[in-house]
Structure 1
Protein backbone atom coordinates (compact mmCIF):
# COMPACT_ATOMS: atom_id res chain seq x y z
CA UNK A 1 0.00 0.00 0.00
CA UNK A 2 1.41 3.37 -1.00
CA UNK A 3 0.78 5.73 1.88
CA UNK A 4 2.73 8.83 0.96
CA UNK A 5 2.75 11.61 -1.60
CA UNK A 6 6.40 12.39 -2.40
CA UNK A 7 8.13 15.31 -4.09
CA UNK A 8 11.85 15.61 -4.78
CA UNK A 9 13.33 19.11 -4.89
CA UNK A 10 16.62 20.42 -6.21
CA UNK A 11 17.05 22.59 -3.13
CA UNK A 12 19.39 22.54 -0.16
CA UNK A 13 17.78 20.93 2.86
CA UNK A 14 17.42 24.06 5.02
CA UNK A 15 15.89 26.06 2.17
CA UNK A 16 13.49 23.22 1.41
CA UNK A 17 12.31 23.09 5.05
CA UNK A 18 11.54 26.81 5.03
CA UNK A 19 9.73 26.59 1.70
CA UNK A 20 7.69 23.62 2.96
CA UNK A 21 6.65 25.64 6.01
CA UNK A 22 5.52 28.52 3.79
CA UNK A 23 3.68 26.31 1.30
CA UNK A 24 1.80 24.55 4.10
CA UNK A 25 0.91 27.86 5.74
CA UNK A 26 -0.58 29.10 2.45
CA UNK A 27 -2.90 26.08 2.57
CA UNK A 28 -4.01 26.67 6.17
CA UNK A 29 -1.62 24.27 7.91
CA UNK A 30 0.27 25.40 10.98
CA UNK A 31 3.38 23.64 12.24
CA UNK A 32 2.72 22.45 15.78
CA UNK A 33 5.83 20.34 16.25
CA UNK A 34 9.21 19.80 14.67
CA UNK A 35 11.31 16.71 15.27
CA UNK A 36 14.92 16.81 14.13
CA UNK A 37 15.31 13.05 13.71
CA UNK A 38 19.00 13.31 12.78
CA UNK A 39 19.85 15.24 15.97
CA UNK A 40 17.71 12.95 18.12
CA UNK A 41 19.32 9.76 16.81
CA UNK A 42 22.78 11.28 17.21
CA UNK A 43 22.10 12.41 20.80
CA UNK A 44 20.23 9.33 22.00
CA UNK A 45 21.87 6.51 20.05
CA UNK A 46 25.11 7.89 18.64
CA UNK A 47 23.78 7.04 15.16
CA UNK A 48 24.18 9.19 12.06
CA UNK A 49 21.60 9.54 9.29
CA UNK A 50 20.93 12.14 6.61
CA UNK A 51 19.22 15.41 7.50
CA UNK A 52 15.66 14.39 8.38
CA UNK A 53 12.92 16.51 9.92
CA UNK A 54 9.32 15.64 10.73
CA UNK A 55 7.00 18.65 10.74
CA UNK A 56 3.74 18.16 12.63
CA UNK A 57 1.35 20.12 10.41
CA UNK A 58 -2.27 20.73 11.32
CA UNK A 59 -5.21 22.35 9.59
CA UNK A 60 -7.54 22.92 12.56
CA UNK A 61 -10.74 23.14 10.51
CA UNK A 62 -10.06 19.85 8.73
CA UNK A 63 -8.97 18.14 11.95
CA UNK A 64 -12.18 19.26 13.65
CA UNK A 65 -14.36 17.96 10.82
CA UNK A 66 -12.61 14.59 10.93
CA UNK A 67 -12.91 14.38 14.72
CA UNK A 68 -16.63 15.07 14.47
CA UNK A 69 -16.94 11.90 12.37
CA UNK A 70 -14.66 9.70 14.48
CA UNK A 71 -12.93 10.69 17.72
CA UNK A 72 -10.26 8.00 17.17
CA UNK A 73 -9.24 9.59 13.85
CA UNK A 74 -6.46 11.51 15.59
CA UNK A 75 -4.45 8.32 15.19
CA UNK A 76 -4.64 8.71 11.40
CA UNK A 77 -4.72 12.44 10.73
CA UNK A 78 -2.27 13.34 7.94
CA UNK A 79 -0.22 15.55 10.22
CA UNK A 80 3.37 14.49 9.61
CA UNK A 81 5.34 16.01 6.78
CA UNK A 82 8.80 14.54 6.28
CA UNK A 83 11.63 16.57 4.79
CA UNK A 84 14.83 14.61 4.24
CA UNK A 85 18.08 14.85 2.34
CA UNK A 86 18.57 12.26 -0.40
CA UNK A 87 21.53 12.15 -2.75
CA UNK A 88 22.15 15.88 -3.00
CA UNK A 89 18.44 16.64 -3.28
CA UNK A 90 15.64 17.04 -0.76
CA UNK A 91 12.58 14.80 -0.55
CA UNK A 92 9.29 16.05 0.88
CA UNK A 93 6.63 13.48 1.75
CA UNK A 94 3.12 13.86 3.10
CA UNK A 95 0.74 11.13 4.19
CA UNK A 96 -2.04 10.44 1.71
CA UNK A 97 -5.21 11.59 3.54
CA UNK A 98 -7.24 8.94 1.69
CA UNK A 99 -5.73 6.43 4.14
CA UNK A 100 -8.16 7.73 6.76
CA UNK A 101 -11.05 6.57 4.61
CA UNK A 102 -9.52 3.25 3.56
CA UNK A 103 -8.44 2.21 7.04
CA UNK A 104 -11.59 3.30 8.89
CA UNK A 105 -14.07 2.48 6.13
CA UNK A 106 -15.94 5.65 7.13
CA UNK A 107 -17.46 7.24 4.00
CA UNK A 108 -18.21 10.39 6.02
CA UNK A 109 -14.46 11.08 6.06
CA UNK A 110 -14.21 11.19 2.26
CA UNK A 111 -14.92 14.91 1.94
CA UNK A 112 -12.38 15.76 4.64
CA UNK A 113 -9.77 13.50 3.04
CA UNK A 114 -10.47 15.00 -0.38
CA UNK A 115 -10.01 18.54 0.88
CA UNK A 116 -6.89 17.66 2.88
CA UNK A 117 -5.40 15.91 -0.17
CA UNK A 118 -6.23 18.89 -2.36
CA UNK A 119 -4.57 21.32 0.05
CA UNK A 120 -1.50 19.13 0.55
CA UNK A 121 -1.10 18.62 -3.20
CA UNK A 122 -1.46 22.38 -3.74
CA UNK A 123 1.33 22.93 -1.21
CA UNK A 124 3.51 20.38 -3.03
CA UNK A 125 2.65 22.00 -6.38
CA UNK A 126 3.79 25.35 -5.01
CA UNK A 127 7.10 23.76 -4.06
CA UNK A 128 7.49 22.07 -7.45
CA UNK A 129 6.60 25.23 -9.40
Structure 2
Protein backbone atom coordinates (compact mmCIF):
# COMPACT_ATOMS: atom_id res chain seq x y z
CA UNK A 1 0.00 0.00 0.00
CA UNK A 2 1.38 3.38 -0.99
CA UNK A 3 0.07 6.66 0.35
CA UNK A 4 0.20 9.76 -1.79
CA UNK A 5 -0.44 13.26 -0.49
CA UNK A 6 -4.12 13.02 -1.38
CA UNK A 7 -4.69 9.32 -2.01
CA UNK A 8 -4.09 5.79 -0.80
CA UNK A 9 -3.06 3.38 -3.57
CA UNK A 10 -2.27 -0.21 -4.38
CA UNK A 11 -1.47 -2.14 -7.54
CA UNK A 12 -3.22 -5.45 -8.22
CA UNK A 13 -2.21 -8.37 -10.39
CA UNK A 14 -5.77 -8.96 -11.55
CA UNK A 15 -7.55 -7.76 -14.69
CA UNK A 16 -9.30 -4.39 -14.53
CA UNK A 17 -12.72 -6.00 -15.05
CA UNK A 18 -12.13 -8.32 -12.09
CA UNK A 19 -10.85 -5.53 -9.85
CA UNK A 20 -13.99 -3.38 -9.98
CA UNK A 21 -16.33 -5.87 -8.24
CA UNK A 22 -13.56 -6.68 -5.75
CA UNK A 23 -13.21 -2.99 -4.90
CA UNK A 24 -16.98 -2.58 -4.61
CA UNK A 25 -17.20 -5.55 -2.24
CA UNK A 26 -14.28 -4.31 -0.12
CA UNK A 27 -15.96 -0.91 0.16
CA UNK A 28 -19.21 -2.59 1.22
CA UNK A 29 -17.41 -4.43 4.04
CA UNK A 30 -16.31 -1.04 5.41
CA UNK A 31 -19.81 0.45 5.19
CA UNK A 32 -19.46 2.27 1.86
CA UNK A 33 -21.87 2.04 -1.02
CA UNK A 34 -21.07 3.15 -4.55
CA UNK A 35 -23.40 6.00 -5.48
CA UNK A 36 -21.88 6.82 -8.86
CA UNK A 37 -19.74 5.17 -11.50
CA UNK A 38 -18.06 7.30 -14.13
CA UNK A 39 -16.46 5.30 -16.92
CA UNK A 40 -13.84 7.83 -18.01
CA UNK A 41 -12.69 5.77 -21.02
CA UNK A 42 -16.22 5.59 -22.45
CA UNK A 43 -17.01 9.22 -21.64
CA UNK A 44 -13.89 10.55 -23.35
CA UNK A 45 -14.56 8.38 -26.40
CA UNK A 46 -18.19 9.52 -26.58
CA UNK A 47 -17.61 13.24 -25.90
CA UNK A 48 -14.21 13.81 -27.53
CA UNK A 49 -13.81 10.80 -29.83
CA UNK A 50 -10.40 10.15 -28.24
CA UNK A 51 -8.92 6.94 -26.90
CA UNK A 52 -8.18 6.67 -23.18
CA UNK A 53 -7.07 3.72 -21.03
CA UNK A 54 -9.56 1.81 -18.89
CA UNK A 55 -10.40 4.13 -15.99
CA UNK A 56 -13.43 4.32 -13.69
CA UNK A 57 -14.30 6.68 -10.85
CA UNK A 58 -16.43 5.15 -8.10
CA UNK A 59 -18.23 7.66 -5.89
CA UNK A 60 -18.20 5.85 -2.53
CA UNK A 61 -20.31 6.95 0.43
CA UNK A 62 -20.61 5.76 4.01
CA UNK A 63 -24.03 7.17 5.01
CA UNK A 64 -23.24 7.48 8.72
CA UNK A 65 -19.97 9.33 8.12
CA UNK A 66 -21.57 11.54 5.46
CA UNK A 67 -24.37 12.43 7.86
CA UNK A 68 -21.89 13.34 10.60
CA UNK A 69 -19.86 15.48 8.22
CA UNK A 70 -22.92 17.23 6.76
CA UNK A 71 -24.43 18.03 10.16
CA UNK A 72 -21.16 19.68 11.19
CA UNK A 73 -20.51 21.49 7.90
CA UNK A 74 -23.33 21.91 5.39
CA UNK A 75 -21.08 22.93 2.49
CA UNK A 76 -18.95 19.78 2.89
CA UNK A 77 -21.23 18.16 0.34
CA UNK A 78 -18.99 19.83 -2.25
CA UNK A 79 -16.24 17.39 -1.22
CA UNK A 80 -18.38 14.25 -1.03
CA UNK A 81 -18.48 11.38 -1.91
CA UNK A 82 -15.10 9.76 -1.40
CA UNK A 83 -13.79 8.92 -4.84
CA UNK A 84 -12.07 5.63 -5.57
CA UNK A 85 -10.45 5.12 -8.96
CA UNK A 86 -9.58 1.92 -10.78
CA UNK A 87 -7.42 2.07 -13.89
CA UNK A 88 -4.95 0.13 -16.00
CA UNK A 89 -1.28 0.99 -16.14
CA UNK A 90 1.41 -1.10 -17.81
CA UNK A 91 -0.67 -4.28 -17.72
CA UNK A 92 -1.58 -3.95 -14.05
CA UNK A 93 -4.64 -2.59 -12.29
CA UNK A 94 -4.26 0.35 -9.93
CA UNK A 95 -6.78 1.18 -7.21
CA UNK A 96 -6.53 4.52 -5.45
CA UNK A 97 -8.83 6.04 -2.83
CA UNK A 98 -9.14 9.67 -1.91
CA UNK A 99 -7.57 10.47 1.46
CA UNK A 100 -10.50 12.09 3.31
CA UNK A 101 -8.18 13.74 5.83
CA UNK A 102 -6.34 15.52 3.02
CA UNK A 103 -9.53 16.38 1.13
CA UNK A 104 -11.50 17.61 4.13
CA UNK A 105 -8.62 19.51 5.70
CA UNK A 106 -9.49 22.46 3.46
CA UNK A 107 -12.72 22.90 5.41
CA UNK A 108 -10.96 24.10 8.55
CA UNK A 109 -13.76 22.90 10.86
CA UNK A 110 -12.32 20.88 13.77
CA UNK A 111 -15.63 19.00 14.18
CA UNK A 112 -15.04 17.38 10.78
CA UNK A 113 -11.56 16.05 11.62
CA UNK A 114 -12.72 12.91 13.51
CA UNK A 115 -15.08 12.00 10.66
CA UNK A 116 -12.29 12.44 8.12
CA UNK A 117 -9.95 10.34 10.25
CA UNK A 118 -12.46 7.48 10.50
CA UNK A 119 -13.22 7.62 6.78
CA UNK A 120 -9.49 7.52 6.02
CA UNK A 121 -8.98 4.51 8.30
CA UNK A 122 -11.84 2.66 6.61
CA UNK A 123 -10.61 3.44 3.10
CA UNK A 124 -7.06 2.46 4.05
CA UNK A 125 -8.43 -0.92 5.18
CA UNK A 126 -10.25 -1.26 1.85
CA UNK A 127 -7.02 -0.65 -0.08
CA UNK A 128 -5.02 -2.91 2.21
CA UNK A 129 -7.57 -5.73 1.87
CA UNK A 130 -7.11 -5.68 -1.91
CA UNK A 131 -3.33 -6.15 -1.73
Query: TM-score w.r.t. structure 2 length?
Result: 0.92
Q: CA RMSD in A?
A: 1.3
Cα distance in 2 for partners of 1:102, 1:75 equals: 13
Gaps of 5+ in 2: none
36, 40, 43: which is aligned to 2:39? 36
Q: How many residues align?
A: 128
Cα distance in 2 for partners of 1:99, 1:72 equals: 17
Q: Structure 1 stretch 53-62 or stretch 102-111: which is displaced more?
A: 102-111
Cα distance in 2 for partners of 1:101, 1:107 equals: 10
Aligned to 1:71: 74
Deviation sequence 1:53-75 (CA, Å, 0-9, x none): 01111100000000011000011
Cα distance in 1 for partners of 2:96, 2:119 equals: 14
Cα distance in 1 for partners of 2:59, 2:128 equals: 19
SS state at 2:111 partner: helix
Gaps of 5+ in 1: none
Query: TM-score w.r.t. structure 1 length?
Result: 0.94
